[in-house]
Structure 1
Amino acid sequence: MFLTEKAATRLTLLLFPSKNSLPSPFPSLPFDQALIARLHSLLPIPNFSSSIPLSWLCRAVDFLALTLSDAAALISDPSLSGSDRAALAAHLDSGIALLDACNAVAAHIDRLLRRRLLLRFALHLLSSPDSLRRARDVIAEWDRDRRPPRAIHDSAGMLVRSLAPGDPPRGKISAVHRAIYAVEAVSSLVAGAVIAVLGGGEKEDLSGISVSGDFPWAEAFNKVAEAVSSELGEGLPGEVEAAEASVRRLAAVIDGEDTGDKTETLRSAVKDAEKAAEEMKDGLDRLSNAVNGLFCAALRTRDAALQSFRIGLQNCR
């Protein structure tokens, strides 16, 4: 657990489900209402040609952190403390997988930031006409590191699958159990999307993610899950793909494939690459901050579950 606490952006929308929605066997609680509102705020997903952009991933991670915070408040409610020991015990286990996912995402972000350093180094070399060949070698190294090794794909896929919630609870269930199930479902969707987009997972790992219509927030959740599945392409985030495109243009100019005044063309290509590299860094920095906030929210929620579990044991005595 190496993530450190940073400020996380908080969403402030508060919408309510439609009055025309089908009746649910579960009462509509403030937790459910907030969850529905935040799910609606995630749509539509910005349309990029390659994949889901970093800006949307930041919003999704912030949304998950807020959902965890709401669940922690519910679990810590004195009137509910220890009311569902089985659900609390299950969350103590599933919470570990979410913390692992945060660390996995942080590792992917760090890898992409290291790639950006290669681009910055190449741009620095291009400031000198005598260093074109060295700059081209650095660009070749950038290309070789575009995708993580196969082993990272496999471990990331296993991690995403471990986050999938169990069978939905049936019959009359506690508010704590309902909140914990919501956290597990949202964690599976958001963490799976982030890991897949950053290059460490597979689109298939997100297939079949849906929630029973018995939950008030199920319709909104399933719409987001469907949108994520349809927008998830084979490329990296839009901001990273923009940097990739700028590097390809740089390579073409250096290799003499781009016709025209090479000096002016190179100057233009360098300017575009500098802009793309900065936008890539900004997006990754924002996502890193969001993941730090999520990691801390996951820790607080797990601590609340542990404390409530202890209170439940004391009451049993």
Structure 2
Amino acid sequence: MFLVQKISPHVFSFLRSSPPKTQSASLAHPFEAALVGRLASLLPLPESSGSVALSWLAQAVHLLAVTFSDAAVLLTGAPSSSDRDALAAYLDSGVALLDACNAASAEIDRLLRRRLHLRFTLHLLASSDGGRNPEKLRRARDSVAEWWGSPRRDIKPFTGDLVRPLAPVVPLRGKLSYVRRATYAVEAASGLIAGAVVAVLGCGRLAVDRVPADFTWADEYHKVAGAVSHKLPGDVSVAEMEAAKAAVRKLTEIMDVIGPNGDGENAERLQEAAKETAKATLELTEGLDALSNAVNELFHSALVLRNTALDGFRMGPQICK
């Protein structure tokens, strides 16, 4: 199901009006300079976990959405005949990004629904008299078991199919127009950032292609790609999910020590473990909500750029020279 939430337009600081109808590559310089700054702002990655944090992913996706919005402003106008080919190629590759956004959104929603088992567990423990109520303690154990046993990583089998089409085709050597430079930039940034989101949610690896050195943002791009790839050795979920798993394991161990009769000897330990689980659950929820909003924003920014590209074809041959 496609995302439909309405978003407000972005304010573009680097460009205030449509570019003149020229093929000068210098028109892309402010756009590329802004991309350099955005990529640089993503480093260093948070060091609190061995995986990638949802908060970082949300920030990266937001910056990608802004880059798409900037590209839409840059590409407003009538393209030349050669640039129409570049726009046509982008229209094909842009579909892959929309698919990735929808898959990521569905996975986030599933993780949020799964988290309800933990909230119900905490509710039961809060009213279990420190574990002395055997029935509520039993139901809390069952709820945790459902959280562990619920279907996970629905996106994992399709990670490769979603990420591979995001990789851009490296442009031919030589002088490139601002249109081709801009479309290649958004394609490469999508392959890196949207690819990272899919890889993290699918517990997979991130593989990105090299960007030619004549692009000013190539160095920062490779730095971000290297940092993220290092954090994704495979089969590792997001940092907030790993923290939640650790807290739930500790909580489960204490519930098992209390035993089926609810002796209550470990009531204080149970209370502390429940607090840790509640904290981890809240951080997971906030991270998933932030990433969901960012993916929604990216989806709509990608649609705006897609419509801008289509407008170039609607102008007709009497305008496009």
Provide the TM-score with structure 1 as the length reference.
0.87
Higher mean C-alpha deviation, range 65-74 or range 166-175: 166-175
Equivalent of residue 266 in structure 1, options 263, 266, 270? 270
Query: 2:11, 2:230 → 1: CA distance?
Result: 25
2:204 aligned residue:
202
Q: Rg bigger for which structure?
A: 2
Q: How far did residue 33 of structure 1 move?
A: 0.6
Q: Residues 132, 10 of structure 1: CA spacing in aligned structure 2 closer, same or farther, 3 A cutoff? A: farther
Alignment of 1:1-317 (within 5 A): 1-5=1-5, 27=26, 29-77=29-77, 80=79, 84-126=83-125, 127-128=127-128, 129=133, 130-145=135-150, 147-149=152-154, 152-198=155-201, 200=202, 202-203=204-205, 206-233=206-233, 234-256=235-257, 261-311=265-315, 313-315=317-319
Query: 2:120, 2:282 → 1: CA distance?
Result: 13
Query: 1:148, 1:8 → 2: CA distance?
Result: 32
Query: 2:55, 2:152 → 1: CA distance?
Result: 21
Query: 2:226, 2:9 → 1: CA distance?
Result: 25
Deviations 1:225-264, CA, capped at 9 Å, x for gaps? 1111112244221112111111111110111189x94111
Q: How far did residue 77 of structure 1 move?
A: 3.8
Q: How far did residue 195 of structure 1 move?
A: 1.1
Verify the 8 A CA contact 1:95 1:298 in the aligned structure 2: yes
Query: 2:81, 2:59 → 1: CA distance?
Result: 32
Cα root mean square deviation, aligned: 2.6
Query: 1:141, 1:235 → 2: CA distance?
Result: 21
Q: How far did residue 62 of structure 1 move?
A: 0.7
Q: Residues 178, 201 of structure 1: CA spacing in aligned structure 2 closer, same or farther, 3 A cutoff? A: farther
Q: How far did residue 67 of structure 1 move?
A: 1.0
Verify the 8 A CA contact 1:83 1:174 in the aligned structure 2: no
- Where in structure 1 are there 5+ consecutive unaligned residues? 15-25
Deviations 1:191-213, CA, capped at 9 Å, x for gaps? 11111112x2521xx22432110
Partner AA of 2:73 in structure 1: A
Percentage identity across aligned positions? Answer: 54
- Where in structure 2 are there 5+ consecutive unaligned residues? 15-24
Partner AA of 2:213 in structure 1: G
- Give the length in aligned residue pairs: 300
Q: How far did residue 83 of structure 1 move?
A: 6.1
Q: Residues 119, 81 of structure 1: CA spacing in aligned structure 2 closer, same or farther, 3 A cutoff? A: farther
Q: Residues 277, 82 of structure 1: CA spacing in aligned structure 2 closer, same or farther, 3 A cutoff? A: farther
Deviations 1:72-101, CA, capped at 9 Å, x for gaps? 1111145x5766100111111111111111
